[in-house]
Amino acid sequence: MYAALWRVLPGPWWVRLLILLALIAAVLYALFYYVFPWASTYINPQDVTVE
């Protein structure tokens, strides 16, 4: 999968690296600001079963 993604991106290796870093940053931003807060409404860490 990663090799296919690397081949699809345009430009020399350093441009590809910058594009991949920007994509990773965008995915992490989306996870931390949209997905994790949405999921935390369904997960209650106070409901533990171990005493």
pLDDT digits 0-9 by tens, 1-51: 788 888 999 999 999 999 999 999 999 999 999 999 888 888 877 766 766
Model pLDDT, residue 41 = 82
**Beta strands, E only, 1-51:** none
Question: Token match 């992490």: residue?
Answer: 28
Are the C-beta atoms of 16 and 9 separated by less than 8 Å? yes
Model pLDDT, residue 12 = 95
Report if residue 51 sits inside a domain.
no
Report if residue 46 sits inside a domain.
no
Answer yes or no: pTM beyond 0.85: no
Residues 6 or more apart whose CB falls under 8 angstroms from that of 11 comprise 19
Report if residue 8 sits inside a domain.
yes
Distance CA 15, CA 13 (A): 5
Q: How many domains does the chain have?
A: 1
Report if residue 49 sits inside a domain.
no
Report if residue 50 sits inside a domain.
no
Q: Which domain holds residue 9?
A: 2-40
Model pLDDT, residue 5 = 86
Report if residue 45 sits inside a domain.
no
